[in-house]
Homo-oligomer: A and B are copies of this chain.
């Protein structure tokens, strides 16, 4: 990892204070005796499902937007491509700084998702459902309208924004031994690792992924073994469908994240999501079920001296109009 390319400790601290000044809430920590009993550890749930727009993504998007506005107060607007949480988050962040926002979504995106993006005021532009069409449409709008592109994870300010979770976490939970983080592009785990490992190098940061991610092999070889062009995983967890991590996030992960990766089947993820609803009384999305499923099903893989573990419940945007995942 090239220290020049990644957010410094100071930048993450500044991000935290910026987000606080914009009234982004400090999300609470919840605990559950049943979860502690099941895992034989002390589990601390960092409830990013309670975060504005229903996921941690509002941290990174808002931090990126605020920093961009500081550099150029005359910025005309923002654009990204996302059918999910980052789209909602950027729509929200742009509304905070009173700038227009375009979110490019692939044809066929469910209405509940496009509604959520439009809710915060963004304009939707429909593209073909291919990675190439998403990128080119986004670029075209950026050029035509002179809007700044805010990518979902591979951006220092986005990473610094996600890192503010760790600023809160280390204040909320003393003596933390490990943090389990769901991974897609890697922005969330990079931000958390950059902050937590610099404050306390003994904290261990574990990635949780769907099957087929190949992350453990990549981390062990410190090499991008993923096939090109970028592939999508065969998982019901839409937020973690991307196989590759980012070109900025992967080196950070290589230097700061444990080589041991928790790979979780869709069944385990869905069971854990159900557990969150039924026993924890929390509405979470499948990506949050990923880290929960990892600790419930594989806690015996962790060293016995790892006692205090934080789980990032990354979001709560699950479709409540349709059957729940375990009913399907």
Within the complex, the shortest CB–CB distance from A35 to chain B, in Å, comes to 12
Partner of A281, one of B33, B282, B324: B282
Which residues of A are at the interface with B, using a C-beta cutoff of 8 A?
Answer: 23, 25, 28, 30, 33, 47, 49-50, 52, 54, 274, 277-278, 280-284, 316, 320-321, 323-324, 326-327
In the assembled complex, the Cα of A282 lies from the Cα of B320 at a distance in Å of 12
14 A-B pairs with CB atoms under 8 Å apart are A28-B28, A30-B50, A33-B52, A47-B281, A49-B281, A50-B280, A54-B281, A277-B283, A278-B320, A281-B282, A281-B284, A281-B316, A282-B282, A321-B327
Closest 9 CB pairs of A and B: A281-B316, A281-B283, A49-B281, A277-B283, A277-B320, A278-B320, A50-B281, A283-B283, A28-B28
Residue of B nearest to A34 (CB): B52
**In the bound complex, what is the Cα–Cα distance between A54 and B47 (angstroms)?**
19
Chain B: minimal CB distance from A270 (Å)? 12
Residues of B contacting A283 in the complex (Cβ-Cβ under 8 angstroms): 277-278, 281-283
- Taking CB atoms, residues of chain B closer than 8 Å to A278 are 283, 320
17 more contacts with CB within 8 A, not counting A25-B33, A50-B281, A282-B282, are A28-B30, A30-B50, A47-B281, A49-B281, A50-B280, A54-B281, A277-B283, A277-B320, A278-B283, A278-B320, A281-B282, A281-B284, A281-B316, A283-B283, A320-B324, A320-B326, A323-B323
Smallest Cβ distance from A203 to chain B, in angstroms? 25
Nearest opposing residue in chain B for A112, CB measure: B278
Complex: chain B residue closest to A315, CB-CB: B281
A118 to chain B minimum Cβ distance, whole angstroms, is 16
Chain B positions within 8 Å of A23 at CB level: 33
Q: How far is the CA of A320 from the CA of B276 in the complex (A)?
A: 11
Q: CB-CB < 8 A to A321: which residues of B? A: 327
Report how far A54 CA is from B278 CA in the complex, Å. Answer: 9
